[in-house]
Protein backbone atom coordinates (compact mmCIF):
# COMPACT_ATOMS: atom_id res chain seq x y z
CA UNK A 1 0.00 0.00 0.00
CA UNK A 2 1.28 3.46 -1.01
CA UNK A 3 1.26 6.09 1.68
CA UNK A 4 0.06 9.60 0.66
CA UNK A 5 0.92 11.98 3.47
CA UNK A 6 -1.58 14.69 2.48
CA UNK A 7 -4.13 12.46 0.93
CA UNK A 8 -4.31 11.37 -2.66
CA UNK A 9 -7.15 13.74 -3.64
CA UNK A 10 -5.29 16.82 -2.35
CA UNK A 11 -2.15 15.97 -4.33
CA UNK A 12 -4.13 15.28 -7.51
CA UNK A 13 -6.00 18.61 -7.19
CA UNK A 14 -2.74 20.51 -6.68
CA UNK A 15 -1.19 18.75 -9.68
CA UNK A 16 -4.21 19.67 -11.81
CA UNK A 17 -3.92 23.33 -10.74
CA UNK A 18 -0.18 23.40 -11.57
CA UNK A 19 -0.77 21.84 -15.01
CA UNK A 20 -3.58 24.33 -15.72
CA UNK A 21 -1.34 27.28 -14.84
CA UNK A 22 1.44 25.93 -17.07
CA UNK A 23 -0.99 25.41 -19.99
CA UNK A 24 -2.44 28.90 -19.59
CA UNK A 25 1.05 30.42 -19.43
CA UNK A 26 2.13 28.61 -22.60
CA UNK A 27 -0.97 29.70 -24.50
CA UNK A 28 -0.44 33.35 -23.49
CA UNK A 29 3.24 33.14 -24.48
CA UNK A 30 2.39 31.65 -27.88
CA UNK A 31 -0.21 34.33 -28.63
CA UNK A 32 2.12 37.11 -27.57
CA UNK A 33 5.07 35.80 -29.57
CA UNK A 34 3.11 35.23 -32.76
CA UNK A 35 3.84 31.51 -32.86
CA UNK A 36 0.18 30.58 -33.02
CA UNK A 37 0.21 30.13 -36.80
CA UNK A 38 -3.38 28.97 -36.99
CA UNK A 39 -4.49 32.39 -35.69
CA UNK A 40 -2.66 34.38 -38.40
CA UNK A 41 -5.11 36.11 -40.75
CA UNK A 42 -5.31 34.71 -44.26
CA UNK A 43 -5.13 36.94 -47.30
CA UNK A 44 -7.15 35.41 -50.13
CA UNK A 45 -7.68 36.45 -53.74
CA UNK A 46 -10.35 35.20 -56.12
CA UNK A 47 -9.56 36.16 -59.69
CA UNK A 48 -11.15 35.65 -63.11
CA UNK A 49 -8.94 36.28 -66.16
CA UNK A 50 -11.03 37.76 -68.95
CA UNK A 51 -8.64 36.64 -71.73
CA UNK A 52 -8.04 33.04 -70.65
CA UNK A 53 -11.35 32.33 -68.91
CA UNK A 54 -9.44 30.82 -65.97
CA UNK A 55 -10.26 31.32 -62.31
CA UNK A 56 -8.05 31.09 -59.26
CA UNK A 57 -8.99 31.13 -55.56
CA UNK A 58 -5.83 31.28 -53.49
CA UNK A 59 -4.46 32.23 -50.07
CA UNK A 60 -1.27 34.11 -50.93
CA UNK A 61 -0.34 35.34 -47.46
CA UNK A 62 -0.77 34.27 -43.83
CA UNK A 63 -0.16 37.03 -41.32
CA UNK A 64 3.03 38.80 -42.39
CA UNK A 65 4.33 35.82 -44.37
CA UNK A 66 3.76 35.37 -48.08
CA UNK A 67 3.14 31.81 -49.24
CA UNK A 68 5.89 31.11 -51.82
CA UNK A 69 3.97 28.37 -53.66
CA UNK A 70 0.92 30.62 -53.94
CA UNK A 71 3.02 33.48 -55.30
CA UNK A 72 4.37 31.12 -57.95
CA UNK A 73 0.84 30.08 -58.90
CA UNK A 74 -0.21 33.73 -59.18
CA UNK A 75 2.83 34.51 -61.35
CA UNK A 76 1.83 31.72 -63.72
CA UNK A 77 -1.84 32.72 -63.65
CA UNK A 78 -1.04 36.35 -64.53
CA UNK A 79 1.44 35.47 -67.30
CA UNK A 80 1.32 37.25 -70.63
CA UNK A 81 -1.64 35.58 -72.35
CA UNK A 82 -0.20 36.36 -75.80
CA UNK A 83 3.31 34.93 -75.38
CA UNK A 84 3.05 32.69 -72.31
CA UNK A 85 5.94 34.58 -70.68
CA UNK A 86 5.90 34.46 -66.88
CA UNK A 87 7.39 37.13 -64.62
CA UNK A 88 7.63 37.24 -60.82
CA UNK A 89 4.96 39.64 -59.55
CA UNK A 90 5.61 42.20 -56.86
CA UNK A 91 3.47 40.82 -53.98
CA UNK A 92 2.48 44.36 -53.00
CA UNK A 93 0.15 44.23 -56.02
CA UNK A 94 -1.73 41.36 -54.36
CA UNK A 95 -1.94 43.28 -51.08
CA UNK A 96 -3.28 46.25 -53.02
CA UNK A 97 -5.99 44.11 -54.63
CA UNK A 98 -6.91 42.64 -51.25
CA UNK A 99 -7.15 46.10 -49.69
CA UNK A 100 -9.15 47.47 -52.62
CA UNK A 101 -11.78 44.78 -52.15
CA UNK A 102 -12.14 45.80 -48.51
CA UNK A 103 -12.17 49.51 -49.38
CA UNK A 104 -15.15 49.06 -51.75
CA UNK A 105 -16.95 46.87 -49.21
CA UNK A 106 -16.53 43.64 -51.20
CA UNK A 107 -13.92 41.56 -49.32
CA UNK A 108 -13.20 38.19 -50.92
CA UNK A 109 -15.17 39.05 -54.06
CA UNK A 110 -13.99 37.89 -57.45
CA UNK A 111 -11.83 40.38 -59.36
CA UNK A 112 -11.86 40.42 -63.16
CA UNK A 113 -8.36 40.63 -64.61
CA UNK A 114 -8.19 42.67 -67.81
CA UNK A 115 -4.39 42.62 -68.02
CA UNK A 116 -1.69 41.17 -65.79
CA UNK A 117 1.94 40.78 -66.81
CA UNK A 118 2.75 42.10 -70.26
CA UNK A 119 5.97 41.10 -72.02
CA UNK A 120 7.93 43.73 -73.94
CA UNK A 121 6.75 42.07 -77.18
CA UNK A 122 3.08 42.37 -76.16
CA UNK A 123 3.59 45.94 -75.02
CA UNK A 124 5.12 46.88 -78.40
CA UNK A 125 2.36 44.99 -80.20
CA UNK A 126 -0.37 46.93 -78.38
CA UNK A 127 1.40 50.26 -78.91
CA UNK A 128 1.79 49.60 -82.65
CA UNK A 129 -1.93 48.75 -82.92
CA UNK A 130 -3.14 52.03 -81.42
CA UNK A 131 -3.75 50.97 -77.82
CA UNK A 132 -2.98 53.48 -75.09
CA UNK A 133 -0.14 51.69 -73.31
CA UNK A 134 2.96 53.34 -71.87
CA UNK A 135 6.27 52.58 -73.54
CA UNK A 136 7.78 51.68 -70.16
CA UNK A 137 4.64 50.19 -68.63
CA UNK A 138 4.88 48.73 -65.13
CA UNK A 139 2.97 45.74 -66.52
CA UNK A 140 6.34 44.70 -68.02
CA UNK A 141 7.84 44.64 -64.51
CA UNK A 142 4.85 42.76 -63.03
CA UNK A 143 4.10 45.75 -60.83
CA UNK A 144 0.74 46.65 -62.42
CA UNK A 145 -2.64 45.10 -63.13
CA UNK A 146 -5.83 46.21 -64.90
CA UNK A 147 -9.03 45.17 -63.15
CA UNK A 148 -12.78 45.35 -62.69
CA UNK A 149 -14.80 44.23 -59.69
CA UNK A 150 -18.27 43.08 -60.77
CA UNK A 151 -20.94 45.13 -59.05
CA UNK A 152 -18.56 48.03 -58.38
CA UNK A 153 -18.52 50.94 -60.81
CA UNK A 154 -15.14 51.77 -62.35
CA UNK A 155 -15.47 55.28 -60.90
CA UNK A 156 -15.92 53.93 -57.38
CA UNK A 157 -13.02 51.49 -57.87
CA UNK A 158 -10.80 54.34 -59.14
CA UNK A 159 -11.70 56.55 -56.17
CA UNK A 160 -10.99 53.72 -53.73
CA UNK A 161 -7.60 53.07 -55.34
CA UNK A 162 -6.73 56.77 -55.22
CA UNK A 163 -7.65 56.96 -51.53
CA UNK A 164 -5.11 54.22 -50.70
CA UNK A 165 -2.16 56.28 -52.06
CA UNK A 166 -0.25 53.09 -52.90
CA UNK A 167 0.84 53.76 -56.50
CA UNK A 168 -0.46 54.73 -59.90
CA UNK A 169 -4.16 54.70 -60.76
CA UNK A 170 -5.42 54.90 -64.31
CA UNK A 171 -9.09 55.18 -65.19
CA UNK A 172 -10.25 53.91 -68.58
CA UNK A 173 -13.91 54.91 -68.79
CA UNK A 174 -14.36 53.75 -72.40
CA UNK A 175 -13.25 50.20 -71.50
CA UNK A 176 -14.67 50.27 -67.95
CA UNK A 177 -11.55 49.18 -66.10
CA UNK A 178 -9.02 50.59 -63.66
CA UNK A 179 -5.24 50.24 -63.77
CA UNK A 180 -3.46 49.99 -60.41
CA UNK A 181 0.24 49.65 -59.78
CA UNK A 182 2.77 49.84 -56.96
CA UNK A 183 5.01 52.41 -58.62
CA UNK A 184 5.07 56.06 -57.63
CA UNK A 185 1.76 57.67 -56.70
CA UNK A 186 0.16 59.30 -59.75
CA UNK A 187 -3.13 59.32 -61.67
CA UNK A 188 -4.48 59.56 -65.18
My answer on whether 84 and 152 are in the same domain is yes
Contacts 24+ apart (CB under 8 A), 152-158: 152/104, 152/106, 154/178, 156/104, 157/100, 157/104
Residue 20 inside a domain? The answer is: yes
Instruction: Tell me the pTM.
Output: 0.79
User: Cα–Cα distance between 146 and 160 in angstroms, integer?
Assistant: 14
My answer on whether 12 and 63 are in the same domain is no
Residue 3 inside a domain? The answer is: no
My answer on whether 46 and 65 are in the same domain is yes
> What residue numbers bound the domain in which 53 lies?
40-187
Assign 65 a pLDDT band (cuts: 50, 70, 90): very high
Percent of the chain with pLDDT over 90: 76
Contact of 49 with 81, CB cutoff 8 Å: yes
Contact of 48 with 55, CB cutoff 8 Å: yes
Q: What pLDDT is recorded for position 161?
A: 98
pLDDT at 188 over 70: yes
My answer on whether 22 and 114 are in the same domain is no
Residue 1 inside a domain? The answer is: no
Instruction: Write out pLDDT tens, residues 150-167.
Output: 999 999 999 999 999 999
My answer on whether 18 and 93 are in the same domain is no
Chain-wide mean pLDDT for the chain? 89
Structural domain count of the chain: 2
My answer on whether 65 and 155 are in the same domain is yes
Mean pLDDT (whole number) for 15-19: 57
My answer on whether 20 and 45 are in the same domain is no
The enclosing domain of 166 has a CATH number of 3.30.1380
My answer on whether 104 and 18 are in the same domain is no
pLDDT at 115 over 80: yes
User: Cα–Cα distance between 74 and 29 in angstroms, integer?
Assistant: 35
My answer on whether 22 and 91 are in the same domain is no
My answer on whether 84 and 13 are in the same domain is no
Assign 130 a pLDDT band (cuts: 50, 70, 90): confident
Contact of 164 with 131, CB cutoff 8 Å: no
59, β-bridge pairs: 44
Q: What pLDDT is recorded for position 6?
A: 58
Amino acid sequence: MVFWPQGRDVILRRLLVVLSVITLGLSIFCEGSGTAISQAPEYRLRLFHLHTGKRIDIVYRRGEDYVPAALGELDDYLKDHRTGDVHHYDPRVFDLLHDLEAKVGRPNSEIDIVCGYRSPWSNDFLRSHGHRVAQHSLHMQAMAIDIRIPGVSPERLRDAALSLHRGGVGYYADSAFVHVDVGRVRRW
